[in-house]
Amino acid sequence: MKLLLIDDEAPVREILGLSLRSEGYEVMTAASGKEGIEIFRRENPPIVLTDIKMPGMDGIEVLKKIKQINPETEVIIITGHGDMDLAIQSLQFEASDFITKPIKDEALAVALKRAKEKLEMKQRLKEYTTNLENKVKEAIEELRIKEMQLFQSKKLAALGTLLAGVAHELNNPLSNISTSCQILLEEIENTDLDFRKHFLKQIEEQTDKARNIIRSLLEFSRQKEFEKETLNLKDIIQETMSFIRGQVPARVEIRVEVPESINIYADKQRIQQAFLNIITNAIQSIPNEGIISIKAEVDEDKGFVNIKFKDTGVGIKPEILPRIFDPFFTTKEVGKGSGLGLFVTHEIIERHGGRITVKSKVGEGTSFLVQLPLRKRAYEQ
């Protein structure tokens, strides 16, 4: 093991050097603190023995310097008889030990043994820590893989549900169209214009329905990239409202309380689609008179724009609440709702780095909270 001995007195270097070499140490010697530091930098010995009182750089300075260069080094201080203060000071700077001059072999042996033990312990601790770190890294990697697998299988399951739903949903309008065509073909010669019109209308409606399902699904597929831009929230909501103005019955009042100052960073068409789905549901949830309120505020702390859609409709039963974002989940009568509205909305909000949550009470109403990241944050998405 390498050992550096720093002492300005040549006889000490010689005698101590000899006895240390006989103990099996590879001893390097320096006659001053400055020289000692030079050698230390070059050789990086794990143990340093330094005299405390030396002209120029003293032992305390040497100790501080060495600890700075390599804090793991064990530094043993050699002190004279009256140097108790200095010795104590050296311990404060993390000297491993001190021995007094004249140096007794046993005292030196004990100090060296302790230093070596400390070094060994540190080494073992280091190995242990690296080992632990590696184990943690492995565990994290394993978790990541598991998570990915889980995600994949979840996605597959969702896809399965989705495909089953698509097949089922498309089957209805298609068989309807097919039946209408058959009837028309069979009866076309013996029937009047109204009869034929009725069936053609039916075919048109069912085709529309099928087309809407396909459109919603295309929305879901990742083909079309999102094009985000800065949009004024109030403008966007007002524009969305103009799409449905004709469908809002007079008994339903819609209140928009959105400050003009709020901007969002979003894909215009998609975000309007998301808002539209929520508002349409709200309108459909109000059987008689009712109010829909749309409020927005900025939460600087959390970095979100919060948009709340609240209705005084029938509310959602707690047992179906967890399912309303599922594809094809609907409580509306056959032919009315496809159950894709909230599924698509959820997807759109998520892909803006936002989230959508819902609270509802049967008989009181429902409120949806859409949280979109503030533009600063949205940029990082």
Ligand X SMILES: Nc1ncnc2c1ncn2[C@@H]1O[C@H](COP(=O)(O)OP(=O)(O)OP(=O)(O)O)[C@@H](O)[C@H]1O
The verdict on 313 binding ligand X (CB under 6 A) reads yes
- 254 binds, options ligand X, Mg ion, none, Cβ within 5 to 8 A by partner type: none
266-295 residues in contact with ligand X (CB under 6 A) are: 277, 281-282, 285
Q: How far is the CB of 337 from Mg ion (least distance, A)?
A: 6
Specify the residue, 298 or 321, whose C-beta has the smaller distance to ligand X. 321
Provide φ and ψ at 304, rounded to 5°: -125, 150
Sole binder of ligand X in the list 44, 100, 232, 330 (CB under 6 A): 330
Tokens of residue 205, six digits: 């409606």
Among 4, 75, 78, 340, the residue binding ligand X under the rule CB under 6 A is: 340
Q: In this structure, what DSSP letter does residue 262 have?
A: -
Q: How far apart are CA 347 and CA 219, in angstroms?
A: 9
DSSP 103: P
Q: How far apart are CA 379 and CA 120, in angstroms?
A: 51
54 vs 294 by CB, closer to ligand X = 294
Task: Tell me how many residues contact ligand X (CB under 6 A).
Answer: 21
Q: Which of 66, 79, 67, 69 is nearest to 111 (CA)?
A: 79
331 touches ligand X (CB under 6 A):
yes
Between 44 and 367, CB nearer to Mg ion: 367
Nearest to 172 by CA among 328, 347, 376: 328
Minimal distance in Å, beta carbon 356 to ligand X?
Answer: 11
In whole angstroms, give the CA distance from residue 32 to residue 46. Answer: 19
Residue 341: CB minimum distance to ligand X, A: 2
**Residue 30, token pair as written in the block:** 């320096």
CA distance 321 to 325: 9
When the beta carbons of 258 and 340 are compared against ligand X, the nearer one is 340
Residue 255 pairs in a beta bridge with 293
Contact positions toward Mg ion, by CB under 5 A? Answer: 281, 341
Written as six digits, the tokens of 65 are 């310097």
Minimum CB–partner distance for residue 137 and ligand X (Å) = 42
Which one of 37-45, 145-153, 293-301, 306-314 is the stretch in contact with ligand X (CB under 6 A)? 306-314
We find the least distance from the C-beta atom of residue 340 to Mg ion, in angstroms, to be: 8
Q: Contact with ligand X (CB under 6 A): which of 30, 324, 356, 372?
A: 324
d(CA 25, CA 18): 10
* Residue 339 contact partner, candidates Mg ion, ligand X, none, CB within 5 to 8 A by sort of partner: ligand X
Residue 281 to residue 341: CA distance in whole angstroms: 8
Hey, what amino acid is at 286?
I
Residue 282 contact among Mg ion, ligand X, none, beta carbon within 5 to 8 Å by kind: ligand X
Stretch of 114-122, 173-181, 326-334, 348-356 contacting ligand X, by CB under 6 A: 326-334
Strand ranges (DSSP E) for 211-318? 228-232, 252-257, 263-267, 290-299, 304-311
Footprint on this chain of ligand X (rule: CB under 6 A): 277, 281-282, 285, 311, 313-314, 316, 324, 329-332, 337-343, 366
